[in-house]
C-alpha cells in the first residue's frame, strides 16, 4: 500500500533562543528536519512538511533539497491535530497510508520506521502509535492499553491518575494511519482543553468510538525519539548520534583510536581497516575507502570521496573533493573543490585556492596521477597539473602544468656570509 508522510515542523522553538527556525538547527552540518526527511524518504512516495514559524526559510530549505517533499502552511498554529488537518485538501482522494513524525527528532532511524509500518500492517491496524518505555516517564503522555493489548487511550500527565502516572510506556509522537478511514477525524476534533488547541492524540479516542483497530508499537531504543527543544538538547542529541555512529563503524571494522574526541557524521561511510585518529571531525556526507589513515585533527567538510589506502594527516581540511588511492596529504593543508589522482603527494602547507572573493566563484583544482606538490605551495584554481609533474616548494601555480614537468617560482638564494655577527656589533 502506498505510504506518504506528514512532518510537523511549524513550531517556534522558543527555548532555542534563536532567529533560526528550530528544525533548521544543525547536527554535523545537517538540519534536524533534513535527518527526518532522509530517514523517511525511502519509505514514502511524498512528504508534506507543515510550516509556520519562519515558514519562508523552512520552505526554501525543503524546496532546494527535496523533490518529493512539499510544504503546507499552518497559520494560525492551533495544535498538532490542526497541523495535520492542513494536509487534508492535498490528500482528499488518497486511499493509502500516512506516517506522521515530528521535525525535531533527528535520531529516529529508517529501519525503525520500516518496522513500525510493518507492525501496523501485520495487525491490520487502522491507527498505530509508536510508544517506548522510560524508567522516568515524567512529562510524557501515558499509553493505556486494553486487556487484549490494543491501545485504549493516551493520557497526558496533567490528566493522569496516580495509577496511570505509574505507567512507564509513553507516547513517542509517531503515528501510522490508514488515511481513508482516519481523515474524517481531522474535521471532528474538538479544542475543549486548557490550551484551546486541536490535539493529534485525540484521534485515538475518535478511532475507538468508530470501532477502528487501534494499536501501539513499542520502540526498543527510546533515544531515537529524543526531541530537540533547547541548545542543551541539541548538544545531547549530537553526542548520542555520534556515539551511535562510532559504535556502528567499529562493529564494521573501522578503528576509532579515541571515541571520546572523534566526531563522524551519520552520512559518512568508511571502509574496513581504516584508522581514524583522535580529534578528527568529519561532517556532512563523505565516503572513505579501506585501509586509510585519517587524522589526527583532520577536518572533512562534506562532499569528500576518498579511495583506498589514502592518508589525510593532522590539520588537513578537505571539502567537496575526490581523492584517488595511495595519495597522501600529511599535514597542514587545505584541499577544496579538488580532484586528486592516485599516488599524489601533498606537501605540508599546500593550499588549493578555490575561491575568488571578487566574483564569489569557486573553481576546481585537478592533480593527475603521480603529481608531487612541494611544501607551502599555492594552486590557484581553475588549474590542472598533469600526470607526474612536480611542483617545487613555495611555488604559486596559476596555469596548467604539462606532464612530467617541474614547476618552480622561487627567487635565487642569496647568502651573505658573516652578516649576523656584523649586525650584532
Residue 159 has pLDDT above 80, yes or no: yes
Are β-strands 338-340 and 322-323 bridged in parallel, bridged antiparallel, or unpaired? parallel
Residue 193 has pLDDT above 80, yes or no: no
Residue pair 297/314 in contact (Cβ under 8 Å)? The answer is yes
Q: Which three cell numbers stand for residue 216?
A: 501501539
pLDDT score recorded for residue 292: 98
pLDDT band at 203 (very low <50, low <70, confident <90, very high): very high
pLDDT single digits (tens) 91-126: 999 999 999 999 999 999 999 999 999 999 999 999
pLDDT score recorded for residue 191: 84
Distance of alpha carbon 162 from alpha carbon 91, whole angstroms: 41
Three-class SS of the chain: CCEEEEEEECCCCHHHCCCCCHHHCEECCEEHHHHHHHHHHCCCCEEEEEECCCHHHHHHHHHHHCCCEEEEECCCCCCHHHHHHCCHHHHCCCCCEEEEEECCCCCCCHHHHHHHHHHHHHCCCCEEEEEEECCCCCCCCEEEECCCCCEEEEECHHHCCHHHHCCCEEEEEEEEEEHHHHHHHHHCCCCCCCCCCCCCCHHHHHHHHCCCCEEEEEECCHHHHCCCCCHHHHHHHHHHHHHHHHHHHHHCCCEECCHHHCEECCCEEECCCCEECCCCEECCCEEECCCCEECCCCEECCCEEECCCCEEEECCEEECCEECCCCEEEECCEEECEEECCCCEECCCCEEECEECCCCEECCEEECCCCEECCCCEEECCEEECCCCEECCCCEECCCECCCCEECCCCCCCCCCCHHHHHHC
pLDDT single digits (tens) 69-92: 999 999 999 999 999 999 999 999
- Average pLDDT taken over every residue of the chain: 96
**Considering 25, 53, 54, 331, which one is annotated as catalytic?**
331
Arch. (CATH architecture) of 3-225: Alpha-Beta Complex (3.90)
Q: Would you call 82 a catalytic residue per the annotation? A: no
* pLDDT, average across residues 299-306: 98
Q: Which three cell numbers stand for residue 364?
A: 576546481
* pLDDT, average across residues 281-297: 98
pLDDT score recorded for residue 100: 98
* pLDDT, average across residues 35-60: 97
* pLDDT, average across residues 142-158: 91
* pLDDT, average across residues 51-57: 95
pLDDT single digits (tens) 244-287: 999 999 999 999 999 999 999 999 999 999 999 999 999 999 99
pLDDT score recorded for residue 194: 73
Distance of alpha carbon 393 from alpha carbon 377, whole angstroms: 6
Question: Is the model's pTM score more than 0.85?
Answer: yes
- Lowest model confidence (mean pLDDT) among 63-67, 192-196, 231-235: 192-196
- Domain ranges, ordered by start, for the chain: 3-225, 231-407
Residue 156 has pLDDT above 90, yes or no: no
Return the exposure string of 370-389: e unless at least 16 CB atoms fall within 10 Å of the residue's CB, then b.
Answer: bbbbbbbbbbbbbbbbbeeb
Residue 127 has pLDDT above 90, yes or no: yes
Residue 415 has pLDDT above 90, yes or no: yes
CB within 8 Å of 415: residues ≥ 6 apart = none
Arch. (CATH architecture) of 231-407: 3 Solenoid (2.160)
pLDDT score recorded for residue 425: 79
pLDDT single digits (tens) 361-410: 999 999 999 999 999 999 999 999 999 999 999 999 999 999 999 999 98
Amino acid at each position: 500500500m502506498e505510504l506518504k508522510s506528514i512532518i510537523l515542523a511549524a513550531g517556534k522553538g522558543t527555548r532555542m533562543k534563536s532567529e533560526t527556525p528550530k528544525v533548521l538547527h544543525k547536527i554535523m552540518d545537517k538540519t534536524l528536519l533534513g535527518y527526518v526527511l532522509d530517514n523517511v524518504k525511502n519509505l514514502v512516495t511524498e512528504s508534506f512538511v507543515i510550516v509556520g514559524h519562519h515558514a519562508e526559510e523552512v520552505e526554501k530549505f525543503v524546496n532546494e533539497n527535496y523533490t518529493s517533499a512539499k510544504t503546507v502552511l499552518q497559520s494560525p498554529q492551533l495544535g498538532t491535530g490542526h497541523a495535520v488537518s492542513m494536509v487534508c485538501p492535498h490528500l482528499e482522494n488518497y486511499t493509502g497510508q500516512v506516517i506522521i513524525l515530528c521535525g525535531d527528532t533527528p535520531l529516529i532511524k529508517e529501519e525503525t520506521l520500516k518496522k513500525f509500518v510493518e507492525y501496523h500492517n501485520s495487525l491490520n491496524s487502522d491507527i498505530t502509535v509508536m510508544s517506548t518505555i522510560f524508567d522516568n516517564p515524567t512529562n510524557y503522555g501515558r499509553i493505556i492499553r486494553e486487556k487484549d493489548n490494543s491501545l485504549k487511550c493516551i493520557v497526558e500527565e496533567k490528566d493522569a491518575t496516580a495509577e496511570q502516572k505509574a505507567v512507564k510506556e509513553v507516547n513517542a509522537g509517531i503515528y501510522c494511519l490508514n488515511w481513508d478511514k482516519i481523515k474524517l477525524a481531522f474535521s471532528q476534533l474538538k479544542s475543549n482543553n486548557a490550551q484551546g488547541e486541536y490535539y493529534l492524540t485525540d484521534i485515538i479516542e475518535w478511532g475507538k468510538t468508530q470501532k477502528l483497530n487501534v494499536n501501539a508499537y513499542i520502540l526498543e531504543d527510546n533515544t531515537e525519539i529524543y526531541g530537540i527543544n533547547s541548545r542543551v538538547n541539541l548538544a545531547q542529541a549530537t553526542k548520542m548520534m555520534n556515539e551511535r555512529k562510532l559504535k556502528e563503524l567499529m562493529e564494521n571494522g573501522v578503528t576509532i583510536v579515541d571515541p571520546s574526541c572523534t566526531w563522524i557524521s551519520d552520512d559518512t561511510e568508511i571502509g574496513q581497516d581504516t584508522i581514524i585518529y583522535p580529534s578528527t571531525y568529519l561532517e556532512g556526507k563523505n565516503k572513505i575507502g579501506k585501509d586509510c589513515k585519517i587524522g589526527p585533527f583532520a577536518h572533512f567538510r562534506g562532499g569528500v570521496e576518498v579511495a583506498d589506502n589514502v592518508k589525510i594527516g593532522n590539520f588537513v581540511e578537505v571539502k567537496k573533493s575526490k581523492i584517488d588511492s595511495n595519495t597522501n596529504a600529511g599535514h597542514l593543508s587545505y584541499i577544496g573543490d579538488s580532484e586528486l589522482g592516485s599516488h599524489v603527494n601533498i606537501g605540508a602547507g599546500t593550499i588549493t585556492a578555490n575561491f575568488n572573493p571578487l566574483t564569489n566563484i569557486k573553481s576546481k583544482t585537478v592533480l593527475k596521477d603521480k603529481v608531487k606538490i612541494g611544501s607551502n605551495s599555492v594552486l590557484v584554481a581553475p588549474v590542472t597539473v598533469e600526470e607526474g609533474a612536480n611542483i617545487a616548494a613555495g611555488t604559486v601555480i596559476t596555469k596548467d602544468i604539462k606532464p612530467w614537468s617541474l614547476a618552480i617560482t622561487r627567487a635565487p638564494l642569496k647568502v651573505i656570509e658573516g652578516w649576523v655577527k656584523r649586525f650584532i656589533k
